[in-house]
Homo-oligomer: A and B are copies of this chain.
Amino acid sequence: MLKYITIANNIRDKINNNEYVYGQRLPYEHELCILYNCNKQTMKKALAILVKEGFIVRRRGSGTYVKDSKTINPINYSSVIYTRPFANLYNDVKSQVVEFSVIQADDFIASKLQVHKDDFIYHIIRSRYINDKPYSLEITYMPINVIPNLRIDHLEHSIYSYIENDLNLKIQSGHKKITSSISTPLEQKYLLLRENEPFIQVEQIAYLSSGVIFEFSSSRHHFKDFEFHTIVLLG
């Protein structure tokens, strides 16, 4: 494991376990370097992760301080379910596979996945539940030559785990687009919506670290249940 990741994980754990609490000044960079036996730049890289995640703030001339993470309610991170700090909180996620087939890409899907028209791709529809309450309907397209040998039991758990652990591919980033539209009978059925009620859609194009697109997906949520959290760097 990389040193700066290990250090970041360790410090994050300490914040989560209240060894460092809200408002507290962390040891100075130089002290942390000695504590973790690393160089200044490596410590900067580790702490930069925690800044990005919103756990700490660094002030030149002053020090590094723990931010108020109590304002972050982890249960609401349904749309960033695969990202680091919160993934483990979702033990009771179940998936019902509504559709699992191989189709040929039309122009729209081909442009999103950046494959050729008529290339073979998986077409997957899953209804997902947290604590037996429906919380999303997920429509997923994946090129069959990027993600081979997908089976239905992978869908019932996590496709991402199959990709990372079994295929040994590295998932890098997702470009997400959040929009809202009036529901059709499909969303009404699986999200328990009434006619004319809208749903929230999170469209995603997901990349491997190689730059290859492996997924185009649409996660659809009941408009009343939806919460999406993100930290944006400004200025």
A residues contacting B by CB (< 8 A) are 41, 54, 57, 59, 65, 67-68, 71-72, 76, 80, 82-83, 112, 114, 160, 164, 170-181, 197-198, 200, 205-207, 209-211, 223-224, 226-235
Contacts and interface: CB of A to CB of B under 8 A. Distances in A.
Nearest to A169: B235
B233 A173 contact: yes
Given A223-B180, A227-B177, A234 B54 contact: no
Contacts of A54: 173, 175
Contact of A173 (B41, B68, B173, B232): B232
A166 to B, nearest CB: 14
Nearest to A65: B211
B57 A207 contact: yes
B198 A230 contact: no
A232 B76 CA distance: 16
Contacts of A235: 82, 160, 164, 170-172, 209
Contacts of A176: 229-232
A233 B223 CA distance: 25
A13 B227 CA distance: 35
Contacts of A57: 172, 207, 210-211
B172 A233 contact: yes
Nearest to A223: B180
A147 to B, nearest CB: 15
A175 B226 contact: no
A224 B170 CA distance: 35
A228 B177 contact: yes
Contacts of A229: 175-178
Q: Pick the 8 closest A-B CB pairs, nearest first.
A: A57-B211, A171-B235, A180-B223, A178-B228, A171-B234, A174-B232, A176-B230, A173-B233
Contacts of A198: 180, 197-198, 223
A173 B224 contact: no
Residue from the set A68, A181, A205, A223 with the largest chain B CB neighbour count within 10 Å: A223
Contacts of A200: 180, 200
Nearest to A200: B180
Given A160-B234, A178-B228, 12 more contacts: A57-B210, A59-B210, A65-B211, A67-B211, A172-B235, A173-B231, A175-B231, A176-B230, A176-B232, A177-B227, A180-B223, A181-B223
